[in-house]
Structure 1
Amino acid sequence: MTTGSFARLVCGRRTKWIVLALWIVVLVFAGSLAGKLGGVEKNDNASWLPGDAEATQVSELQKQFQPDDIVPAILVYERTGGITPADQEKAAADAKAIAAVPGITGQIIGPVPSADKAALQIIAPIKIDADGWDKIADVVGQIKTISGAGENGLGISMTGPAGVAADSAGAFDGIDGTLLYTTLIVVAIILLVTYRSPILWLLPIVTAGVALTSAQAVIYLLAEHGGLVVNAQSAGILTVLVFGAGTDYALLLVARYREELRRHADRHEAMMFALHRAGPAIIASAATVAIGMGCLMLAEVNSTSGLGPVAALGVLVGLLAMMTLLPALLVIFGRWLFWPVRPRYGTPEPTATGLWARMGNRIARRPRAVWISTAVVLGAMALGLVQLDANGLSQQDSFTSEQPSVAGLEVLGRHFPAGQGDPVVVIAGADRADAVRTAFTGVPGISAVGDPVVKNGLVQFEGTLTSAPDSQAAEDTVIAARDALRGTGAKVGGTTAMTLDINEANKHDNRLIIPLVLLVVLIILAVLLRSLVAPILLMATVVLSFAAALGVSALVFRHVFGFGGEDTAFPLFVFVFLVALGIDYNIFLMTRVREETREHGTRRGALIGLAATGGVITSAGIVLAGTFAALGSLPLVAFAEIGFAVAFGVLLDTLVVRSVLVTALNLDIGRWMWWPSKLTHQDPAVDAPVSPAPLSQSERVLPQ
């Protein structure tokens, strides 16, 4: 089906009602399914760990020693002047009561006094049942109720892996609702300012909401019946992505529709032309985003590979809604939607003499100086990359606000070996038990090794770390343990090993997926623009823009927000979102420039393209930046960093790179931008350098 026939089908006088009816039916069925998405999310370690990582293998082998997945909760009792007999009695009574809490399995350890006699600790093993990690917060809450907050100078802290998991669950609690409402408010405000209409903004919002509900329903079905892995991270990003990308497509379509309403008396005909002319760019943009996101499926980290299909499906469903439901709604409601500034038939197109037309006129005076100076400034911004520390976040650095479990870790570290309650786990063949124990005991950073547990021909040891389990020193200890045990057949796991393996897998994914996405996007641009020079230059601007955004973000994180570092997946996520989504603006601009180049030449076509799309690209960038900035509403550093970097990068891309740098390159290079297509052989006279008149002499700088 051609775009012309598709356009007639979507916005026909009768078929528009059929399109609306079909989407109502879809919404009725999707609504009930979308609400079940949270029930199939998997937020346990398996949904994050690389499938073949050594820590993953140890986690599977541990099931032979303990059939249930166990995560320890640690209660720490602290009194500055020393623990009293009354404190010991209370802790003992608490331990007995905690043992009866549903979800507690095995033996309660403690109360164990610290060497300085100023603290006690209780370690309670919590069973992770079929409901996964979602129940941990409930069990931790019951333990806190039993122990109380402490009084008369006795401090009581809940920490350990279970305490941290409970705080993380609290941070993710309501993530979908928080992001949805924050995103809705941001998009609504921006659309109101953009359209200056009290009604028009509702249609993109409604359409994006329908798209999100439909996407959630499809993803729920795939997660429930197709084995798709979905977690809170991917579900949250889905909301931002559907609203951000979907609203971008809506803005482009509405802008082109408004143009055509001035050229056609009949609104159905105007929408048909708008879809026919803007549709290919929108489809190409969505396909590029979907393919770019699909590249994430090659990631080793399960959470990243699961995000790929979730994000791709969200973008494709958003595209379908914006190309069918939105056009139908626009023609059903008619021109009055644009009130109070309705585009009347026969009136001049205001973009021809607007802000971006005047901007293009200024760039045309000295395009080479403009693109060189812009590139130098972006390069200087990229120097901030020296401050980037994407080596992972400790538990203390993972939250934007103080959390009880983090404070508890500090208390625990003051009185007990930092790694107590969260050991390094070693599993080997039982026949190598003595050799493994000797080698493991001699590893620097291991303060003690527990008694061996033998079962099914395997032996398990647990070693206590001298360093905090989430520290770099602890990861170095795991690396040293693996080196010391090499050749014994032993495998090293535990929480620290999981973190290490996830970080290493993230670094591998960065090296694999970033070049792959660049190559994929380059090929798509080459096919779409039928050129080699333009795609290479555009990709160079994309990389420069990404580096500048990352450099500025690193400086802000370190010196403004005071963050302790970046997650190892941070560069990959920011790159994929900035490149895959930012390429939309390249496509919106360059397809229009190519369209105008056929008649006016590249230099004049570049000015017309900038004037026609500058406003909509800016609006789209602000909307997308606003939706990603909504991630900052969550108390998690990793989300806040991604939200800031993508928001800043998108604004930089739309306001500077696309509008100034790319336009200046088009003006300077001229028809050779399209080499080796036939546009390169256009009459040089048609593509003569632009000599704009002084702005004060005339408002009209572009031909109609």
Structure 2
Amino acid sequence: MISPEGDAFILIFKPKDDSKAYEKSLEIKRIVKETLIKHGFYPSYIGVTGEDILGEEMKTTGSKDIKTVNNISMIAPILIALILIGGFVAAGLPFLGIGLSVLLSSAILYVLALLGIVEVTNWSRMLLVTTSFGLGMDYSSYIVLRFKEKIAELKNPSLAAHDALVHSLPAIAAASSTDVIGFAVMMLAWDFPLLASVGKTVPIAILAVLAASLTFTPALLAKFGDKKWFWWPHTVEAGRKPWRGFKLTRGRAIGLILLTIVLGTFGAYGLLTFKGSHDYSVFMPEGTEGYRAYMEFQNTFPAGQLMPVYVVGEVSHGTVWDPVVMSNIRKLAEEIENIPGVIEVRGPHNPGTKPKELYVGSDNKTFYLEIIIEPSPLSREGVDLVKNIRDAVHKYRSDTFRRLLIGGIAATSMEIEELLNKDFWQKIFPVGLVLMWLAMTLSFMSVWAGIIPLITITVGYMIGVTLASKIPGLYGEPALWFLPLMTFPAVLGVGMDYNSFYMNRQREELGKIAGKPGAGYIASTNAIHAVSHLVVGLGLIVTATYSALILGSSWGVRELGIALAGGVFVTTILAAIIFTPAILSIMGEKAWWPYSRRWKK
């Protein structure tokens, strides 16, 4: 292949030994360079790329990225757990429960897979571990902190463990039920076995970690919670001052709600103007041989020439070579060429440099058209153009053709996007929201308990997607089309957890002073002092884990890290110290109707 300007060319080859394809490809590059120089040509650039090169480089850099993420994922939770809980042994308690739950859920899934009931993919196995770790830290830490608060008062570890479990149960029940629902609704995407597998396997892991948190954690606290070595180097003392936080007044609450509105407006603008690309080159590790060669190829050769759009047709009678049929093929090609952005349509009517027979099937009844477009087929503009081509082809009416189909890499990627968006926004999203609202309402016996968390989650989600689209854009990198789909489940899961933890404590504090003037503001302030530092700490653990992705070798991984870390962090802050405390303080007892009727009796 020669460039349009005639100043560059491409050699296509396939190494014989696949096991050494990477080394062989680099050797061929060296031979080509030496040969050109030997004959008096001094090229400004010679590079090599392709499936073998990129695959090996992505494998190498991917291993480094995973190692970095794992290191941060291990160090950050340990440090934050030590700060939140205090005591080396006590801080390690959640990790013991997590380990047991992973073993239990893995054993259950192993048996179910052997029986052919579920299919366990590599992706679902990875999510099983990460989800167990994240939720296990949430559930167990919440109980441990409540125990630490009560042991100083009751002095009896058994009573303190019982009290901690009883008062933590509503929040953990609400959080776990919404977590299970959030993953289980993915079974509705039965057209995509990968997502369906996640929907069948991860809920089992959540139930296992829930069981460990509600049994193993309280049991160890009851047994060892009064031992000095358990909390070393700290001690559990009566009258220990809670986190100071801040005092909520009506003016501050209104200010915090206005701040949420501003953040929501910014996020909504970013989400509504989001234009995702299908350019998967963002997953190529930067600075590698294959990446540089691919970029050079993109800049030198028309992208549409490398990845043309295809139209495959079948004639209803006669053969492709019949004059009437060929005339209709020409008219169809002219219709397509009239679409802005289409450079050329090749086929049996206009074969270009190829023999026209190559565009016709062996039965002489099928044919294909090769459509060269101006924008990159996998860019947002390219995918939109492919949609226009598809619409024009489907609208074309002629008795000559039995059927006309559109294909190619861009068309396939476009249809995957359409199908996945349809499954997500029309099935997974609405069903999940309704069931989560119902779960929160039943757990807290309040119709508002499911609405308030969804507001914080929606704002955090929109901010995460906005950051992931705008920041790469500053560096000229496109945002991936599936970022909104991957961000929402993660933000939804932790958002429900953190809102549940704060709301449970606010309801408890409000029940103590219900009916008093300003009770809502006092209860929200006390809840901030008691648990907001825990919620923020747990949120920072997840944020730090996702932030490690920003250190990845490719922009695709970095974009995921920005979206997930940004969304989780904003949702955490809104749930712990901004929107949820503010709205609950203003609404007072009304926020807990019909549960609040108990306080009046």
Question: What TM-score results when the alignment is normalised by the length of structure 1?
Answer: 0.68
Question: Are 1:465 and 2:355 matched, yes or no?
Answer: no
Shift of 1:363: 0.8
Distance in 1, Cα, partners of 2:362 & 2:420: 34
Shift of 1:414: 5.3
Which residue pairs with 2:267 in the alignment?
Answer: 382
Which residue pairs with 1:204 in the alignment?
Answer: 94
Shift of 1:471: 3.0
Which residue pairs with 2:408 in the alignment?
Answer: 494
Which residue pairs with 1:582 in the alignment?
Answer: 495
**1:391–1:567 CA contact under 8 A, matched in 2:** yes
**Pair 1:402–1:337, CA change in 2 (3 A):** same
Distance in 1, Cα, partners of 2:51 & 2:333: 24
**2:472–2:559 CA contact under 8 A, matched in 1:** yes
Distance in 2, Cα, partners of 1:551 & 1:413: 27
Distance in 1, Cα, partners of 2:407 & 2:142: 51
**1:674–1:680 CA contact under 8 A, matched in 2:** no
Which residue pairs with 1:475 in the alignment?
Answer: 383
Distance in 2, Cα, partners of 1:590 & 1:676: 15
Shift of 1:254: 1.0
* Mean Cα deviation higher: 535-544 or 287-296: 535-544
Which residue pairs with 1:23 in the alignment?
Answer: none
Distance in 1, Cα, partners of 2:305 & 2:278: 20
Distance in 2, Cα, partners of 1:485 & 1:540: 43
Distance in 2, Cα, partners of 1:371 & 1:270: 35
Q: Deviations over 1:407-450 (max 9, x none)?
A: 33343345545344544444444657735864675433355346
Which residue pairs with 1:401 in the alignment?
Answer: 286
**Which of 618, 630, 634 in structure 1 is aligned with 2:536?**
618
**2:187–2:196 CA contact under 8 A, matched in 1:** yes
Question: Are 1:571 and 2:473 matched, yes or no?
Answer: no
Which residue pairs with 1:273 in the alignment?
Answer: 163
AA paired with 2:437? L
**2:551–2:558 CA contact under 8 A, matched in 1:** yes
**Pair 1:558–1:657, CA change in 2 (3 A):** farther
The DSSP-based 3-state class of the residue aligned with 2:361 is strand
Q: Which runs of 4+ in 1 moved over 6 A?
A: 455-458
Shift of 1:546: 3.3
Q: State the superposition RMSD in angstroms.
A: 3.7
Distance in 1, Cα, partners of 2:582 & 2:86: 30
Which residue pairs with 2:75 in the alignment?
Answer: 185
**2:87–2:232 CA contact under 8 A, matched in 1:** yes
**Which of 490, 497, 504 in structure 1 is aligned with 2:418?**
504
Report matched runs for 1:57-68 at 5 Å: none
AA paired with 2:95? I
Shift of 1:616: 1.5
**1:578–1:650 CA contact under 8 A, matched in 2:** yes
Which residue pairs with 1:159 in the alignment?
Answer: 49
**1:167–1:403 CA contact under 8 A, matched in 2:** yes
**Which of 572, 575, 578 in structure 2 is aligned with 1:660?**
578
Which residue pairs with 2:592 in the alignment?
Answer: 674
AA paired with 1:668? I
Shift of 1:524: 1.6
Q: Which runs of 5+ in 1 are unaligned?
A: 1-111, 128-134, 684-704
**2:49–2:291 CA contact under 8 A, matched in 1:** yes
Which residue pairs with 1:341 in the alignment?
Answer: 234
Report matched runs for 1:525-674 at 5 Å: 525-559=440-474, 562=475, 564-601=477-514, 603=520, 604-674=522-592
**Pair 1:472–1:383, CA change in 2 (3 A):** closer
Distance in 1, Cα, partners of 2:390 & 2:94: 54
The DSSP-based 3-state class of the residue aligned with 1:263 is helix
**1:160–1:422 CA contact under 8 A, matched in 2:** no
Which residue pairs with 1:524 in the alignment?
Answer: 439
Distance in 1, Cα, partners of 2:107 & 2:366: 45
**Pair 1:627–1:330, CA change in 2 (3 A):** farther
Shift of 1:223: 6.2
The DSSP-based 3-state class of the residue aligned with 1:277 is helix
Shift of 1:285: 0.6
**Pair 1:497–1:537, CA change in 2 (3 A):** same
The DSSP-based 3-state class of the residue aligned with 1:454 is coil
Which residue pairs with 2:351 in the alignment?
Answer: none
Q: Deviations over 1:457-498 (max 9, x none)?
A: 984637263444423454345334433443642322222122
**Pair 1:464–1:618, CA change in 2 (3 A):** same
Which residue pairs with 2:350 in the alignment?
Answer: none
Report matched runs for 1:687-698 at 5 Å: none
**Pair 1:626–1:452, CA change in 2 (3 A):** same
**Pair 1:240–1:457, CA change in 2 (3 A):** farther
**Pair 1:140–1:666, CA change in 2 (3 A):** same
**2:463–2:566 CA contact under 8 A, matched in 1:** no
Distance in 2, Cα, partners of 1:476 & 1:248: 43
The DSSP-based 3-state class of the residue aligned with 1:490 is strand
The DSSP-based 3-state class of the residue aligned with 2:450 is helix
Q: Deviations over 1:387-422 (max 9, x none)?
A: 853422413434462444443334334554534454
**2:465–2:483 CA contact under 8 A, matched in 1:** no
Report matched runs for 1:101-120 at 5 Å: 112-113=1-2, 116-120=5-9
Distance in 2, Cα, partners of 1:529 & 1:646: 28
Shift of 1:177: 5.0
Report matched runs for 1:364-379 at 5 Å: 364=249, 366=251, 368-379=253-264
Distance in 1, Cα, partners of 2:239 & 2:78: 28
**1:179–1:236 CA contact under 8 A, matched in 2:** no
* Mean Cα deviation higher: 577-586 or 372-381: 372-381
Shift of 1:385: 1.3
Q: Deviations over 1:238-284 (max 9, x none)?
A: 44433222211121011012123223334234323322321342132
The DSSP-based 3-state class of the residue aligned with 1:159 is coil
**2:128–2:201 CA contact under 8 A, matched in 1:** yes
Shift of 1:311: 4.0
**Pair 1:226–1:535, CA change in 2 (3 A):** closer
Question: Are 1:247 and 2:137 matched, yes or no?
Answer: yes
**Which of 178, 193, 206 in structure 2 is aligned with 1:315?**
206
Q: Deviations over 1:161-195 (max 9, x none)?
A: 66555554445447655543331122122223333
Which residue pairs with 2:359 in the alignment?
Answer: 452
Distance in 2, Cα, partners of 1:641 & 1:315: 27
**2:483–2:563 CA contact under 8 A, matched in 1:** no
Q: Which runs of 5+ in 2 are unaligned?
A: 348-353
Question: Are 1:230 and 2:137 matched, yes or no?
Answer: no
**Pair 1:470–1:162, CA change in 2 (3 A):** farther
**Pair 1:558–1:223, CA change in 2 (3 A):** farther
**Which of 112, 135, 144 in structure 1 is aligned with 2:25?**
144
Which residue pairs with 2:174 in the alignment?
Answer: 284
**Pair 1:392–1:113, CA change in 2 (3 A):** closer
**Pair 1:465–1:125, CA change in 2 (3 A):** farther
**Pair 1:515–1:565, CA change in 2 (3 A):** farther
**1:208–1:243 CA contact under 8 A, matched in 2:** yes
Shift of 1:636: 3.9
Which residue pairs with 2:244 in the alignment?
Answer: 355
Which residue pairs with 1:38 in the alignment?
Answer: none
**Pair 1:542–1:205, CA change in 2 (3 A):** same
Question: Are 1:412 and 2:297 matched, yes or no?
Answer: yes
Q: Deviations over 1:93-141 (max 9, x none)?
A: xxxxxxxxxxxxxxxxxxx5556554443445799xxxxxxx98x5752
